[in-house]
């Protein structure tokens, strides 16, 4: 991938440089550079299990989703992660709900490495269309990581409090593809905050960015049209910003409160992801 090289931060000098001018001596410190703590450009032949967990279970029934989460629908091909949503019958259940037959399948992956606290998350992706498809790039608090591969709704969860919180980096709801929902749910329900995009997100790759600091969350999008990153939304104040480790999730749900009634004729659909980079 052409973007892979940009993940490598320049090496910093091991010591400050001393500059002498007459009797004045000043220490010039090396520039502050970011450090990449997670990167995947999907250049292999399959999902890297050291980086991602691929789910195999029932979808989120609390949200009314109508698909099985099927690992067969998640592949790596041509330098892209591809999550395919289909109209097909499949049996699935989870640790809370018995096996049942559903008529749609899709896929979901989650970061398998330890959750992180603060940083900049960049995801270059082209989202799927499809009537009833609900694609999202999002983050969950560390408390969810252990149970999510087995059920979307562990009984002990306390969403959205503390380590059970959520940040939606790029969520596409109810057929909208020229606007993206950007929301934080932290200690209280954060509502929805749809923001306009310069293009239909199904027609091109864009880089969706979240910059997360102790005092702010800043969402921005690079539509790769020469304009660079556009800031589209922000939340300020430490009481509004999660201060717990979180991890990245990528998936497409079908139906439910964010998808609406699916049209079988509009499937299959593919969520294509070029890379995921986290820096701090």
Give the model confidence (pLDDT) of 105-148 as tens digits.
Answer: 999 999 999 999 999 999 999 999 999 999 999 999 999 999 99
Mean pLDDT of 246-258: 98
Going along the chain from its start, the domains and CATH numbers come out as 34-279 (2.60.120.200)
Whether 24 has a pLDDT exceeding 90, the answer reads: no
Q: How far apart are CA 191 and CA 166, in angstroms?
A: 12
- The Cα–Cα gap between 236 and 240 comes to 7
pLDDT at 23 over 90: no
Q: What is the pLDDT of residue 21?
A: 37
Percentage, residues of the chain above pLDDT 70: 88
Residue 155: per-residue pLDDT? 93
How confident is the model at residue 9, as a pLDDT? 37
Cβ contacts of 230-237, under 8 Å, gap ≥ 24: 230/198, 232/180, 232/182, 232/195, 232/196, 232/197, 233/182, 233/193, 233/195, 235/184
pLDDT of residue 12: 39
- Category of 5 on φ-ψ map: left (φ > 0), alpha (ψ -120 to 50) or beta: alpha
Q: What is the pLDDT of residue 195?
A: 98
Q: What is the mean predicted confidence (pLDDT) over 268-275?
A: 98
- What pLDDT is recorded for position 95? 96
Residue 31: pLDDT band (50, 70, 90) is low
Q: What is the pLDDT of residue 45?
A: 96
pLDDT in tens, 38-56: 999 999 999 999 999 999 9
Helices in 175-255 by DSSP H: which ranges?
A: none
Of 82, 60, 58, 54, residue with least CA distance to 68: 58
């Amino acid at each position: 991938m052409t973007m892979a090289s940009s993940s490598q931060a320049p090496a910093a000098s091991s010591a400050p440089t001393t500059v002498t001018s007459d009797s004045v001596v000043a220490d010039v410190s090396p520039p502050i550079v970011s450090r990449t703590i997670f990167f995947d450009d999907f250049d292999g032949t399959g999902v890297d299990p050291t980086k991602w967990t691929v789910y195999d279970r029932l979808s989120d029934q609390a949200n009314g989703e109508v698909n099985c989460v099927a690992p067969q629908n998640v592949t790596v091909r041509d330098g892209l992660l591809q999550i395919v949503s289909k109209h097909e019958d499949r049996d699935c259940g989870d640790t809370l709900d018995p096996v049942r037959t559903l008529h749609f399948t899709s896929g979901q992956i989650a970061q398998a490495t330890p959750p992180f606290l603060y940083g900049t998350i960049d995801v270059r992706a082209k989202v799927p269309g499809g009537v009833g498809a609900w694609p999202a790039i999002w983050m969950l608090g560390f408390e969810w990581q252990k149970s999510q591969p087995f059920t979307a709704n562990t009984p002990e969860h306390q969403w959205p409090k503390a380590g059970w919180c959520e940040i939606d980096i790029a969520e596409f709801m109810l057929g909208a593809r020229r606007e993206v929902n950007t929301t934080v749910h932290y200690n209280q329900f954060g509502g929805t905050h749809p923001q306009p995009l310069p293009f239909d997100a199904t027609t091109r790759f864009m880089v969706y960015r979240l910059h997360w600091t102790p005092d702010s969350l800043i969402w921005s999008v690079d539509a790769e049209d020469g304009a660079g990153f556009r800031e589209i939304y922000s939340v300020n104040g430490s009481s509004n910003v999660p201060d717990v480790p979180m991890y990245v999730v990528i998936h497409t749900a079908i139906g439910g409160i964010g998808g609406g009634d699916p049209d079988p004729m509009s499937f299959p659909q593919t969520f294509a992801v070029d890379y995921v980079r986290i820096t701090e």
